[in-house]
């Protein structure tokens, strides 16, 4: 996927109710059930791209909470735009580098991890 910088994407992400704010991520371990407001299992996708896979799963499985992690703002913006069409209460997004994932989720808090097409060699 070719990345194009989209002006203002960081601002849209920061204001989106579907995105967990970057400045609150360190307080998230152990609180994901509170963030979602239920005790459903938590599945995450690392490198979710435009969010089609997680969006489909969230629609099909309302009894599971999903968290999509994406490093690139312009790509995450597309997933947010899809969420505005299909508001799903069991899907949240995080804009971050997955290298820091252990700082965002507590031990045993995640039930399943999806690694579909994450980029093992990110570009500058």
pTM, entire model: 0.88
Q: Exposed, middle or buried: residue 36 (CB in 10 Å: 0-12, 13-18, 19+)?
A: middle
Domain boundaries of the chain, sorted by first residue: 19-114
Encode pLDDT of 9-19 as tens digits.
778 888 899 99
Is 29 in contact with 62 (CB distance < 8 Å)?
no
d(CA 36, CA 71): 22
**Whole-number pLDDT of residue 87:** 86
Encode pLDDT of 45-54 as tens digits.
999 988 999 9
- Is residue 97 part of the annotated active site? The answer reads no
Q: Answer whether CATH 3.40.50.150 is correct for domain 19-114.
A: yes
The stretch 23-42 carries a mean pLDDT of: 96
d(CA 43, CA 124): 28
Encode pLDDT of 65-123 as tens digits.
999 999 988 889 989 988 888 889 999 999 999 888 999 999 999 999 999 876 666 66
Kindly name the residue from 39, 100, 111, 119 that is annotated as catalytic: 119
């Amino acid at each position: 996927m070719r990345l194009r910088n989209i002006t203002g994407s960081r601002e849209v992400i920061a204001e989106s109710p579907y995105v967990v704010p970057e400045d609150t991520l360190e307080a998230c371990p152990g609180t994901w059930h509170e963030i979602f407001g239920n005790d459903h299992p938590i599945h995450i996708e690392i490198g979710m791209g435009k969010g089609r896979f997680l969006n489909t799963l969230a629609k099909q499985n309302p009894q599971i909470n999903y968290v999509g992690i994406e490093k690139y703002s312009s790509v995450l913006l597309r997933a947010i735009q899809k969420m505005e069409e299909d508001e799903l209460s069991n899907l949240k997004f995080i804009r971050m580098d997955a290298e820091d994932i252990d700082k965002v989720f507590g031990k045993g808090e995640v039930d399943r991890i999806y690694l579909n097409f994450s980029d093992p060699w990110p570009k500058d």
